Amino acid sequence: MLLNLLLLFSCHFDYDEDFNTFDMQLYDIRTFNVGYEKSKKSSVMIEAYNAQNIFSGHGSGNYFYSGPRKFIITANHVVEREGTIFVKEQDGTRHKAEVIYQEASRDVAILYVRGDLKVTTPVHLHYMHPFNNEGKNIYFTSCPDGTPFVLGTGVIVKDDDGFFYSQSLAWPGSSGAIAFDARGNVVGVLTGVRIAYDSVANSGRMLENYVFIGRFEFIDRWKIKRIFQDAGI
C-alpha cells in the first residue's frame, strides 16, 4: 500500500543558494505539471498609467523570490511608459509597484512591491538549461486582450541568439508573462507575437502564431542582490 502511494507522487526540489536550503514539494504525477503550476500561482497582471493618470495599457508578469528578496519580472515595454505601475493579483487586489531594473535590449524589467502580495505565491528563480531546447514544451499564464490569467502552451521551434521562438497562441496583453518548462524552470519572458493570416483567401483565418521569448539568465542571484542594493531596498 505504501509503495503504491509513493509511486503516485513525485518530489520537486528548489535550492535556495542564499540560505543553502531546499524547498521540497510533493506532487501527484498522474495529473501534475510543475511548469503550469508555477506559472499559474505566480501570475499577475501589470497595469500602466500615464503621467496624466490615464490607463495606457496592461501586460503580464510573474512573482519570484531569490533568497529573502521578492519581485515581479515582466517585459520592459510593458512598463517603459512614464507614469504609475500597478500589480493586480488574481483576486483583484492591486499594489503600486516600483520599477527597479530595466534592460531594453532583452526587453526585461523587474518590479518591486513593498510588502508581500496577498494571494500570489512567489516561485524560485531558476533557469532552464541553455542548450538543446528546441522541441521542448513551454507553459505560461497571461492576460491576453484583457482576459485574466489564461494558460498558454507551446513548443520551442528555434533558438536564436538570446531569444526563443515558440509556436503557441498569445495576444496583446500576454507580454511580460514568464514561460516555464515542464520541470518548472524559467525559459524566458514573452516579448512579442507574430501572427500570419490567410491573405490569399482573404478569410482572416489565422495560420500561424509565433511567440518571441527573451532569455535573461544573466539576471542571477548576485545581480538581483545588486539591483536591490542599488534601489536602496
95 forms beta bridges with 87
Whether residue 183 sits in one domain with residue 135: yes
Whether residue 71 sits in one domain with residue 143: no
Question: Taking residues 195-203, what's their average pLDDT?
Answer: 55
Task: Name the band, by pLDDT with cuts 50, 70 and 90, for residue 5.
Answer: very low
Residue 28 lies inside a defined structural domain of this protein:
no
Whether residue 109 sits in one domain with residue 48: yes
Task: Give pLDDT tens digits for 11-36.
Answer: 444 555 555 554 545 444 444 589 99
**8 Å CB contact between 190 and 60:** yes
**Buried b or exposed e, range 49-78, using 16+ CB within 10 angstroms:** beeeeeeebbbbbbbbbbeebbbbbbbbbb
Residue 22 lies inside a defined structural domain of this protein:
no
Question: Taking residues 184-193, what's their average pLDDT?
Answer: 90
The three grid cell numbers given for residue 211, joined into one nine-digit string: 511567440
Question: Taking residues 109-138, what's their average pLDDT?
Answer: 91
Residue 3 lies inside a defined structural domain of this protein:
no
Whether the per-residue pLDDT at 56 is higher than 60: the answer is yes
Distance CA 51, CA 94 (A): 19
Query: Which amino acid is present at 166?
Result: S
Task: Name the band, by pLDDT with cuts 50, 70 and 90, for residue 61.
Answer: very high
**Cα-Cα end-to-end distance for the chain:** 51
Whether residue 169 sits in one domain with residue 88: no
Question: Taking residues 207-216, what's their average pLDDT?
Answer: 78
Task: Name the band, by pLDDT with cuts 50, 70 and 90, for residue 202.
Answer: low
pLDDT the model gives residue 161: 75
Residue 52 lies inside a defined structural domain of this protein:
yes
Task: Give pLDDT tens digits for 90-113.
Answer: 999 999 999 999 999 999 999 999
Whether residue 187 sits in one domain with residue 148: yes
Looking at residue 160, which CATH number applies to its domain? 2.40.10.10
Distance CA 139, CA 36 (A): 5
Whether residue 208 sits in one domain with residue 93: no
Residue 7 lies inside a defined structural domain of this protein:
no
Task: Name the band, by pLDDT with cuts 50, 70 and 90, for residue 129.
Answer: confident
pLDDT the model gives residue 118: 95
pLDDT the model gives residue 204: 53
Whether residue 224 sits in one domain with residue 116: yes
Whether residue 105 sits in one domain with residue 142: no
Calculate what percentage of the chain has a pLDDT beyond 90.
52
pLDDT the model gives residue 23: 53
Query: Domain tally for the chain?
Result: 2
Distance CA 174, CA 17 (A): 31
**8 Å CB contact between 174 and 193:** yes
pLDDT the model gives residue 32: 54
Boundaries of domain holding 54: 38-123+219-230
Higher-pLDDT residue of 215 and 172 is 215
Whether the per-residue pLDDT at 152 is higher than 50: the answer is yes
Whether residue 85 sits in one domain with residue 144: no
Whether residue 131 sits in one domain with residue 210: yes
**8 Å CB contact between 95 and 117:** yes
The three grid cell numbers given for residue 34, joined into one nine-digit string: 510543475
The secondary element (H helix, E strand) that includes residue 142 is strand 137-142
pLDDT the model gives residue 29: 42
68 forms beta bridges with none
Whether residue 113 sits in one domain with residue 150: no
